Chains A and B, each alone.
Chain A
């Protein structure tokens, strides 16, 4: 019997040994740079490249910009340091951002800007107290090393190249985000094209052009007379500008990179969060209105006509806080947009009417053709963001068991302003860049995990 016990304890010992060797290991995927060189990655673009989200540019957003997420993945395949134009620590909230304070009784999100009545958040803003000639508040100048992330919120192809407007508008004096990156002496003279021409990238991404249609679209198709960059950019100047920019950042086609195109405005929650049908239903159901059942939503079109809104019109996100408010001189319950007969249709800047929408769509398609052609001309692969967001808008985009969509707030991908992405959305974009890069340059850059980047934080 003792022999048996000895034998069985030996057997148990063997089992223990087997167990310690039991933990399986999966080899880490090989990260290979392929034919690309990520040692000095430079990102050219607008707010989407800068990391702008929830209505502002601030350090947390900059840290979660898609170029920064990309650079972290590139670092696994020989990528170098990536400098970001951060605000000083004591001004970390930069231009400020929307604060999500909760939902109204009817389920609308309460989103408040810095300083707005009722906003309980305290911000460490970076405003200097000076105002630029555009009327925008100046931000504290960036004092760090030459950044790799050259994204400038608000910039378009038209405003990037001074020659396109005959130097009419010195963009460094108009845009606070370019203003803060340029030395004071250069602000009147150095345009974005010149600025990016100083970079010496080994690899680049270029995502420009959205503001050549989006600035107009988000303003409900109302171009501002005081802003020469607020209309739809014409194809001639866009083509000239775009080709010049790509020639500059590729150093005449010698630097590898990726080019991204312009997403469709109809895939962005800023234009889809408040459907016309929903707005009309809520008006007809408003018991405070006399004859609510006969009421509807009336808009002033870009052409100046007043008519009932239809499903072919897109209301901007900002419209929701205007519809039904008191018109000066006209007391409630007759609110803005409720009636055609009163002088209170929803003003044109809150609606992208069917004609304006058609114009935006047509121009987006035209500009994307220019982008596509330029990319092929310089042998740079195209990241078709337009197609990507069309798919996401249609089917959603699930990752790691999380359902994401282009819905406002609940969709995870877009930030509180409904136009710019959330940190998670930027991580998704970074992964789609990686997909294009890996295919074109035979590299194997691993994907980031979007779930590690925050979507909307709920109160």
Chain B
């Protein structure tokens, strides 16, 4: 399989609607994990360990190749403080994708592998005429990471691993209306479209299995600053009144978006051969995301920069999930997660209408003979209803966004195929 062509073919698919974890983070990296609350740091289930804890890869019994795809379907409702009817999204379905190939000697202590996944992304298209249109009408944020990974079992109880995390593809498309109208009442519109520089970060993990019944893991993924440089970022305007054209001449933009580091701890418990339970905690260093700053090569409404406060706070996600082997072929899974929002009160933006999230997961795997298996998963995420008032926005200096109440639910069915040897 030609990795590059796969990436290019997949690149338009590799996004997630409304992100399925806090902020614009997406945690849909492993199809088995997706069925059990997203736990995995303290487990050695399959090749997806490269994402969750590269240290656990050496303890994965089989070598193999696996792919997974998820359909993220978000449904939102919004009511503005200054406005009437309920606004919804122009519904879209997007499909985060993952691919893992793990290799190594069958009896050796080394394992190596390559992973392709999409840890950050977002796609939201608001219905025409919604109250927040001067903040945002559409956003598509895509990222594809490629991660070559090695793992080594120091003893039969302790293993370590690390990977190079490569931002192989990143793109952003942001659109909003400009609050100027021509004599016919048409409203201006601006679109920013860019691709990010390639960047390299790392992840690393350690995995310890003191007994058959207990395993512990820890992992860390570094921050990567996704940077769209001016030559890769295009600005285009439409419906700008002729008399104001000199105030809207920008052609290019430059922006940096931090994709924050994550530290994770996990515990795996295996009371019987057939039952595995995982408990994870992720700590995401969102506080690096202070503000979103665009620099333009010409004026946009008279200004050549745009600064918008974000002031995210570090956030924790707690996960609990398990699997039970019903028959020799069939394994069932269930789990849940609670995701504390990194977005403070009065800082909610239309591009990330975030709130604390409760996720419930179900999943199953079926093995066809020795080598081939299918994993299905279903995830339901309920975002807490969240209201911010114009008074809060004014006191925070965040009046570039809209006051009102958001409520979002997300359903994510997914399916994966694996071949082990």
A11 touches B376 (CB 8 A): yes
Q: Which residues of B, 363-421, contact A by the 8 Å Cβ criterion?
A: 364, 366, 368, 374, 376, 378, 380, 385, 390, 393-394, 399-403, 405, 407-411, 413
Residues of B within 8 A of A301 (CB): none
A400 vs B137: C-alpha distance when bound (angstroms): 13
Residues of B within 8 A of A15 (CB): 378, 411, 413
Nearest-neighbour CB distance to chain B for A4, whole angstroms, equals 5
A41 vs B408: C-alpha distance when bound (angstroms): 39
Nearest-neighbour CB distance to chain A for B84, whole angstroms, equals 7
B131 touches A24 (CB 8 A): no
B407 touches A26 (CB 8 A): yes
Decide yes or no whether A398 CB sits under 8 A from chain B: yes
Residues of B within 8 A of A1 (CB): 368
Residues 428-459 of A, flagged 1 when their CB comes within 8 A of B and 0 if not, give 00010000000000000011111110111111
Residues of B within 8 A of A311 (CB): none
A458 touches B131 (CB 8 A): no
Nearest-neighbour CB distance to chain B for A60, whole angstroms, equals 11
A449 vs B368: C-alpha distance when bound (angstroms): 59
Residues 164-208 of B, flagged 1 when their CB comes within 8 A of A and 0 if not, give 000000000000000111111100000000000000000000000
Known: A11-B378, A23-B88, A398-B399. A447 touches B73 (CB 8 A): no
Known: A24-B407, A400-B134. A29 touches B79 (CB 8 A): yes
Nearest-neighbour CB distance to chain A for B409, whole angstroms, equals 5
Decide yes or no whether A46 CB sits under 8 A from chain B: no
Residues of B within 8 A of A459 (CB): 182-183, 241-243
Residues of B within 8 A of A22 (CB): 73, 75, 409-411
Residues of B within 8 A of A403 (CB): 179, 399-400
Residues of B within 8 A of A395 (CB): 394
Query: Closest residue to B368 on the A side, CB-wise?
Result: A1
Residues of A within 8 A of B413 (CB): 12, 15
Residues of B within 8 A of A25 (CB): 77, 86, 407
A459 vs B245: C-alpha distance when bound (angstroms): 10
Decide yes or no whether B76 CB sits under 8 A from chain A: yes
Decide yes or no whether B113 CB sits under 8 A from chain A: no
Residues of B within 8 A of A18 (CB): 378, 380, 411
A449 touches B83 (CB 8 A): yes
Decide yes or no whether A8 CB sits under 8 A from chain B: yes
A106 vs B408: C-alpha distance when bound (angstroms): 49
Question: Which of A401, A448, A457 is packed against the most chain B CB atoms within 10 Å?
Answer: A401
A1 vs B378: C-alpha distance when bound (angstroms): 20
A458 touches B241 (CB 8 A): yes
Interface size, B (range): 35 or more
Nearest-neighbour CB distance to chain A for B201, whole angstroms, equals 33
B402 touches A400 (CB 8 A): yes
Query: Closest residue to A29 on the B side, CB-wise?
Result: B79
Query: Closest residue to B186 on the A side, CB-wise?
Result: A457
Q: Which residues of A, 1-54, contact B by the 8 Å Cβ criterion?
A: 1, 4, 8, 11-12, 15, 18-19, 22-26, 28-29
A26 touches B405 (CB 8 A): yes
A402 vs B77: C-alpha distance when bound (angstroms): 21
B82 touches A449 (CB 8 A): yes
Query: Closest residue to A107 on the B side, CB-wise?
Result: B246
A4 touches B366 (CB 8 A): yes
Decide yes or no whether A388 CB sits under 8 A from chain B: no
Q: Which residues of B, 60-99, contact A by the 8 Å Cβ criterion?
A: 73, 75-86, 88
Decide yes or no whether A103 CB sits under 8 A from chain B: yes
Tell me how many residue pairs across A and B have CB atoms closer than 8 Å: 122
Residues of A within 8 A of B134 (CB): 400-402, 451
Residues of B within 8 A of A431 (CB): 82
A398 vs B75: C-alpha distance when bound (angstroms): 28
Decide yes or no whether A102 CB sits under 8 A from chain B: yes
B182 touches A457 (CB 8 A): yes
A451 touches B131 (CB 8 A): yes
Residues 285-324 of B, flagged 1 when their CB comes within 8 A of A and 0 if not, give 0000000000000000000000000000000000000000
Residues of A within 8 A of B181 (CB): 454-458
Decide yes or no whether A215 CB sits under 8 A from chain B: no
Decide yes or no whether B244 CB sits under 8 A from chain A: yes
Decide yes or no whether A364 CB sits under 8 A from chain B: no
Q: Which one of A102, A451, A454 lies within 8 Å of B185 (CB-CB)?
A: A454
Residues of B within 8 A of A19 (CB): 73, 75, 411
Decide yes or no whether A412 CB sits under 8 A from chain B: yes
Q: Which residues of A, 399-418, contact B by the 8 Å Cβ criterion?
A: 399-403, 412
Residues 379-409 of A, flagged 1 when their CB comes within 8 A of B and 0 if not, give 0000000000000000100111111000000
A398 vs B76: C-alpha distance when bound (angstroms): 24
Query: Closest residue to B349 on the A side, CB-wise?
Result: A401
Q: Which one of A8, A24, A449 lies within 8 Å of B76 (CB-CB)?
A: A24
Residues of B within 8 A of A29 (CB): 79
Known: A25-B77, A457-B183. A398 touches B82 (CB 8 A): no
B82 touches A412 (CB 8 A): no
B182 touches A458 (CB 8 A): yes
Decide yes or no whether B132 CB sits under 8 A from chain A: yes
Residues of A within 8 A of B79 (CB): 26, 28-29
Decide yes or no whether B135 CB sits under 8 A from chain A: yes
Residues 17-55 of B, flagged 1 when their CB comes within 8 A of A and 0 if not, give 000000000000000000000000000000000000000
A447 vs B79: C-alpha distance when bound (angstroms): 12
A401 touches B411 (CB 8 A): no
Residues of B within 8 A of A102 (CB): 242-243
Nearest-neighbour CB distance to chain B for A37, whole angstroms, equals 23
A65 vs B399: C-alpha distance when bound (angstroms): 26
A412 vs B179: C-alpha distance when bound (angstroms): 9
Residues of A within 8 A of B376 (CB): 8, 11
A400 touches B80 (CB 8 A): yes
Nearest-neighbour CB distance to chain B for A419, whole angstroms, equals 21
A323 vs B178: C-alpha distance when bound (angstroms): 34
Nearest-neighbour CB distance to chain A for B310, whole angstroms, equals 15
Nearest-neighbour CB distance to chain B for A5, whole angstroms, equals 10
Residues of B within 8 A of A447 (CB): 81-83
Query: Closest residue to B408 on the A side, CB-wise?
Result: A24
Nearest-neighbour CB distance to chain A for B83, whole angstroms, equals 4
Known: A451-B134, A458-B183. A28 touches B86 (CB 8 A): yes
- Starting from the known contacts A400-B402, A401-B399, 8 additional A-B residue pairs (CB-CB under 8 Å) come to A24-B408, A26-B78, A28-B85, A398-B393, A398-B400, A431-B82, A451-B83, A451-B179
Show 18 residue pairs from A and B whose CB-CB distance is below 8 angstroms, ordered by the A residue.
A8-B364, A8-B376, A18-B378, A24-B76, A26-B78, A26-B79, A26-B385, A399-B82, A400-B403, A401-B132, A401-B399, A450-B82, A454-B185, A458-B182, A458-B183, A458-B243, A459-B182, A459-B183
8 closest A-B pairs by beta carbon, nearest first, are A398-B399, A458-B241, A401-B135, A449-B83, A401-B134, A24-B407, A23-B75, A402-B179
Interface residues of A (CB under 8 A from B): 1, 4, 8, 11-12, 15, 18-19, 22-26, 28-29, 102-103, 395, 398-403, 412, 431, 446-452, 454-459
Interface residues of B (CB under 8 A from A): 73, 75-86, 88, 131-135, 179-185, 241-244, 364, 366, 368, 374, 376, 378, 380, 385, 390, 393-394, 399-403, 405, 407-411, 413
